[in-house]
Every structure is written in C-alpha cells, then in structure tokens.
Structure 1
Amino acid sequence: MRSRPPSHASVGDLALFSADELLDPAEAGASAPIDTAELAEIRASLAEPIPLTGDGDLIGLMRQLWAEQQRFERVRAERLGTDRIGLATLDLLLNLGPQPPSVLAVHAGCSNAVMTLSLNRLESRGHIVRGTHPIDQRKILVLLADGVPELVEALTAPRDARMNAIIAGMGKRATQNAADFLTHMVEAHRG
C-alpha cells in the first residue's frame, strides 16, 4: 500500500488513492472523532480550482460539469470510506435529519436489502447510529454520528463557497437566466 496522500494533495491526486489509503489505518475499523486539523486538511485538499476546457458549447459544458460532479462525489465517497449509496445516505441524513431505513432506501433509489448493507457499513465506520423512534418504539431511526455532519460539510464547503461567490457576482438578470436554463436542463433529464 502506498502512503497516505500529503495534506497538500489536490482533489485530482486524491482520486488516485483508494478509500483504504485515504483513511487513517486507525480509523478504518472504528470511529474516531475528526479533529480541527484534519478538517482544515480536507478543506485545503478540496479547495483547488478545477480548470475548464469547454469552448462555449453548452452541451459540452454540461457534460463536463456532470463529469466533474461525478469525480467530486467519488472523492467524497472515498474520503468517507463508503460507496455511492452510503454517500447518498449521509447526504440525505444531513438534509432530512433522522429517518427510518425504508425512507432512506426510497430516497437513495435502492432496495431495503441494499440499504441495510449500506447502513451496516456506515455504522461500522462510525458514521451513523441507529436508535428507536421517540414516539413509536417499534420503529428504527438512522441518525448521523457525532462529528459526521461537520466532516460531510467540510468535504463540500470549499466548492460551495466558490459557487456562491460566482453566483454573488452575477447580476439579477444573469442569475435568472441561469436558473431558467438549469430548470429546463433538469426537466430534460427527467424526460
């Protein structure tokens, strides 16, 4: 196994490492609270700008954006030691709060059996905990473990800050045009 990537590694560099290489060996089997230095390291590694190669072709730029988003999600999943379903589950819990496994399965687009396997992996990594519903004790709720919201946010904060800065610099008309365009693109994807 190669050594872990240096703290100054770019996002592209991180994509070359497997999840096991990105995780500290001590953290691979058990949960350990992430410290502020590691959060700073994560932010720094994901803050590097992504060069654009588009020539103004909107469909080409959309494909490039889609490819960049996929790469970004792969890096996030590897850094968290999970897969696509696990990452979607963490994002859902961050945005929706505690949920029953069946609701998470529907939102993640997988079967209950696949969600159970994903939750088992997330729980073994210390990312989630399962508890009973406060009113209906028969129901199980899945919650993010302590420190995980900050970790998940740290992986997206630099990109989100860059995007927000771009949006803030756009005029009202340009922002509305972009919103209209993206709305139509979402509709086109849905068919």
Structure 2
Amino acid sequence: METANPIFRHQISADVIALDKQGRVILVADVRGSRVVKLTLSQFTSYLKATQTVVPFAMLVDPETIQIVQWDGVNWSEAICSLKTTDVVKPYIRDFDSYKRDYQHQQITGGYLEILLLAWLDDLAFHWKLETPPASKELAAIGLLERLDEGSTKREVEISGDTILRDELSHEYLYWA
C-alpha cells in the first residue's frame, strides 16, 4: 500500500487572523510574547510574494502598542495606525480596576493578550459589547473597519494563500496531492 506524503505549499503561522464576511483573510497579527513562533514583516513579505496572496493589513501587537501596517502588493507601509494596547483591550477585561490593582506590575501578554485582541476584533465586527468599540474611528480612517464588518477571527492558525490549514480548534492539516 502506497502512502502519500503531504506537500506543504508556502504557509504562514499567525497568532490571530481576521477574515472578511466572504471568508478572505484581511489581517494577520503577530502577538509578541505568545507561544507561537514569531514572524517578522520580512517573513510575511516572503509568504505573500510566494503565494501571490493579498492580505491587506498586518497587526504587530505587544503589551504596550498595537501597530497596523498595510501591504500594497510589493511592500509594507510604515505604521499607518498606532494604538495603546491597554486602551484597546481594557473594556474586555472583567473588572479592569481590580485587575489593574492586583497585577499592577505585570503586563498583559501571551495567550491572554491574544484572547483580548480577538474579543476586540469581534466587537468591531458585530458590536457584541460596545456600540463603538475602541479605535473604531482610527480603523475606519485606514479602511480596516469596514472590512472587519460581519467578519470573523481565528487564533493560532496556519494559512496557505486563502486556505486555513490549521487553527486552534483543529489540529488537522489539509494535504495536497
């Protein structure tokens, strides 16, 4: 019996992705301090050029700053939007004042920061918590807010082109013959 070896085309691992309402990847995010292998913009560039995929935005997140850059098909822009991480995620932390008091010397990092980022992106898409989520005005100004409308998010994913190979809920891989 012959066994097939999987063929992996160019792929990327991302901490968080956002998809528009048609299911196209519109944003890849790298959350520094998470357990997923980190990617730099140069690695994102190699991936996008190799797959001839257009992912218009990248988000670089650390405990202090969220920076958003845009892909024009050839190069990444300088940061087109820079936000304070705490200002963006604090509405999604239950009893933020208690959290701040108990963890005053610790920053929000890793998986917890990823979860808070997902909550914010989902709120931007569906307004499940706030009528006007944090940074709505800034994201509208760069054209990202309308693309997030009624979209979805995924955490800890591997993608190839517009195909999601793996996400946090599925450790199954798609194979190509």
TM-score by length of 1: 0.26
RCO higher in structure (CA 8 A, sep ≥6): 2
Between structures 1 and 2, the one with greater helix share: 1
Between structures 1 and 2, the one with greater strand share: 2
Which structure has the bigger radius of gyration? 1
